[in-house]
Structure 1
Amino acid sequence: MFQLNHHTTKRSLACLLGTALLLFAAKPSLSYGQGTSFSSVSIGVQPKIVKIYGAGGIKGLEAYQSGFLISEQGHILTVWSYVLDTDYITAVLNDGRKFQAKLVGADPRLEIAVLQVETDRLDFFAPKAAIDLEAGDRVLAFSNLFGVATGDEPASVLHGIVSAKTPLDARRGAFKTTYRGPVLIVDAMTNNPGAAGGALTNREGKLVGILGKELRNALTNTWLNYAIPMSELNQAIDDILAGKTRPRSVDDSVKRPDHPHSLHKLGILLVPDLLTKTPPFVDRVRSNSAAAKKGLKADDLILFVNDRMAESCKTLKDELSLIDRIDSVHLIIQRGQELLELELKLADGT
């Protein structure tokens, strides 16, 4: 039976708003910005928006999200989420073409990821050309909210204003997120399934930021509609594109040490590796081990090892095999919604 709940209410409101926007967009004579119509702005942005499909599909875990092109070579900026926890990520372009996208890299600290599809000569946003906005500025939010568009249908567009520009870390404990930086709060209903990873632009269609993941205040049970400014992401995007977060284990030319680290030596037991990309969650930590002495705990998620992304149990094991046992191991872990850094080193003679 159909049950009316919070998401259903948001879905109905979004559909009504989407209908109103379509009617508005059908009138190109309406001025929107410096002599620019709403429809022409939307038409100019749509080719840059990407619909992304991957893992999920069970209750509460939608298997889709949004992204946008950031290079002519098919690089796509999106949010880092469970949707990308699969080897079969599908990216659908504005013209309906479908590609299997590969994960280039991610920064869970900023909750972003970069994908790539094998095509070129694409229309794209230049991240470093993004602009900054202040409270009161009008914005447009482009995304595939609710997964409505599956082929060459245009992405949904919401209109609103920037309500505030504020640091998200001021809400520590209220909002469960690893990101701790400035955000743009908008009055458009962007906090909907599938909208995360979409593009926030100004009224002329210039890139401003990326739409954040669904976020609810644990104290007031209210949802936050927000975007992360591109100025906070550009350095991380450059690092990802430069391969600085790419696992070294994918490079066969990297020399392996004679006496490498291992999970067993460090005292770490991961959850059973049953999936293609089983996330490296810690199942148990051996007492008096290097990991135990530094405070690693069961249920911790290992995100990075020596600044290289550990996207799966297999990747983590491979990365450790490239680190000499005499060297320390730097881990970035996620415990709940908190990111922690640990430096593990084996005792002499171990």
Structure 2
Amino acid sequence: MQNESRDREHPSNSISHNTPDTKYHNRAPWKKAAASLSLVLLGSGMTFAGGYMAAHPRQVSESASNLALSRVNAAPPLPATTDPNFVTKVVQKVGPAVVRIDSSRTVKTQIPDEFSNDPFFQRFFGSQLPDQQQDRVERGTGSGFIISADGRILTNAHVVDGADTVTVTLKDGRSFKGKVLGKDELTDVAVVKIQADNLPLVAIGNSDQLQPGEWAIAIGNPLGLDNTVTTGIISATGRSSNLIGAPDKRVEYIQTDAAINPGNSGGPLLNYRGEVIAMNTAIIQGAQGLGFAIPINTAQRISSQLIATGKVEHPYLGIQMVGLTPQLKQNINSDPNSGLSVNEDKGVLVVKVVPNSPAAKAGIRAGDVIQKLGGQTVTDASSVQKAVENSQVGGDLRMELRRNGQSLNIAVRPGAFPAQVQ
């Protein structure tokens, strides 16, 4: 179910989302959909054109006038900012608050006893035989941005994941030892603290108001090239984690064509006013112009909890689901091995219920079709996930569903997302 790669800074510990195992290839289409839960010609004509213009200047002039009129009538021009140097001003304003984060961690490797004690193995390596236990240091570089004058910095969780040491370097060259206040793997957000005062900080925008086509400016340290600036637009909003190949995350990503590369992770994505609208976090390997960022409203909500308690509790139901369509309904009902029978055309089909989960305790079954959650109509898995994420752990969440042609109202009490879901 994982088709692309996320940008990971530790090169020897990068997580890539590869193509599905071959065991999935022969599954029915509906099963594939469910599994995606747990993305001038130039040449001789130039000579002819030049000759025509020389021989018929009046006709060319009239044609050009008609063309100019038709363009005016065809489409209005895009609105421009009042300052042609707005990118430069944004960089000058925000650049000092963007930092480089260098992290390192020690990985212990163990030589199996059967190798170290094997005479054949010792014969070839002799005195060069490595110790049974060796330490290997992995290093990585990412980006971050300062959100408080006393040294709180926002970055990606994968930038500091497992780090023994974290070093934060400011644009002015000063370096500080960083402490990870907390990190949340489900949203890939982390907060780092350095001991400093009167630091430059970013201005925060509102990611809920973003529209495709708006300017996007990225600042970060891609591939070790500090303070790199790239520009583009907001290509799309609300990209689900499943769609971009990161089904283990709970984020509706912002898509941008501003160049993002390894090392940009954790850096800010800015609007034309210099406000942070998102945190750069992922790319699709082998693609161009496809970068993804965590909306700043999401990152702020998570970081506030990390700063307050060092952890984040995510509401959890424990169901595997897929958006229902008439075609999917037909595929399921025509598959004798599906074990399901569907009578509905719309809603979200429950494919599996995790044992002993909140959903199981509430009586939800595989084959149920969710139509409303928390009073809101749901049509796909992302809308259910969003409704659950906006609920409270331990609170009551009302669910309207259809089962065997009958309507049911169920109250389910979300639990805290477990460290590992089987």
Q: What is the TM-score with the length of structure 2 in the denominator?
A: 0.46
Q: Which of 36, 55, 58 is matched with 2:104 structurally?
A: 55
Q: Which of 168, 193, 205 is matched with 1:91 structurally?
A: 168
CA distance in 1, matches of 2:278, 2:229: 15
Aligned equivalent of 1:113: 190
CA distance in 1, matches of 2:105, 2:284: 18
Distance 1:244 1:97, change over 3 A: closer
Deviation at 1:127, TM superposition (A): 4.2
Unaligned runs of 5+ in 2: 1-6, 8-79, 108-137, 313-354, 358-392, 394-414
| Residue-by-residue CA offset, 1:90-124 (whole Å, 9 max, x unaligned) | 00011110000000011111001000110011111
| Residue-by-residue CA offset, 1:59-113 (whole Å, 9 max, x unaligned) | xx76100000011110010001164422310000111100000000111110010
Residues 151 and 193, structure 2, Cα contact 8 Å, conserved in 1: yes
Aligned equivalent of 2:248: 178
For 1:203, give the aligned amino acid: Y
Deviation at 1:229, TM superposition (A): 0.8
Aligned equivalent of 1:165: 237
Residues 67 and 76, structure 1, Cα contact 8 Å, conserved in 2: yes
Q: Which of 79, 86, 95 is matched with 1:46 structurally?
A: 95
Helix, strand or coil for the counterpart of 2:277? strand
CA distance in 1, matches of 2:92, 2:159: 30
**Number of aligned positions between the proteins:** 215
Distance 1:133 1:82, change over 3 A: closer
Aligned equivalent of 1:326: none
For 2:252, give the aligned amino acid: P
| Residue-by-residue CA offset, 1:231-270 (whole Å, 9 max, x unaligned) | 1222211111112529xxxxxxxxxxxxxxxxxxxxxxxx
Distance 1:333 1:243, change over 3 A: closer
| 1:207 is the counterpart of 2:276 | yes
Distance 1:57 1:87, change over 3 A: closer
Unaligned runs of 5+ in 1: 1-6, 8-31, 150-154, 247-292, 296-306, 308-328, 335-339, 343-350
CA distance in 2, matches of 1:57, 1:136: 44
For 1:164, give the aligned amino acid: A
Deviation at 1:332, TM superposition (A): 2.6
CA distance in 2, matches of 1:245, 1:98: 27
CA distance in 1, matches of 2:310, 2:190: 13
CA distance in 1, matches of 2:83, 2:180: 40
For 2:104, give the aligned amino acid: A
| Residue-by-residue CA offset, 1:312-349 (whole Å, 9 max, x unaligned) | xxxxxxxxxxxxxxxxx977325xxxxx3x8xxxxxxx
CA distance in 2, matches of 1:188, 1:231: 20
Deviation at 1:52, TM superposition (A): 0.4
Deviation at 1:135, TM superposition (A): 0.4
| Structure ranking higher in helix proportion | 2
Deviation at 1:57, TM superposition (A): 11
For 2:176, give the aligned amino acid: F
| 1:196 is the counterpart of 2:265 | yes
Identity across matched positions, percent: 27
Moved more, 36-45 or 230-239: 36-45
Aligned equivalent of 2:150: 73
**1:183-262 matches, cutoff 5 A:** 183-190=253-260, 192-216=261-285, 222=287, 224-245=290-311
Q: Which of 170, 177, 190 is matched with 1:100 structurally?
A: 177
Aligned equivalent of 1:301: none
Deviation at 1:128, TM superposition (A): 6.7
Helix, strand or coil for the counterpart of 2:282? coil
Helix, strand or coil for the counterpart of 2:200? coil
For 1:123, give the aligned amino acid: P
Q: What is the TM-score with the length of structure 1 in the denominator?
A: 0.54
CA distance in 1, matches of 2:283, 2:160: 13
Q: Of the two, which has the highest radius of gyration?
A: 2
Deviation at 1:180, TM superposition (A): 2.9
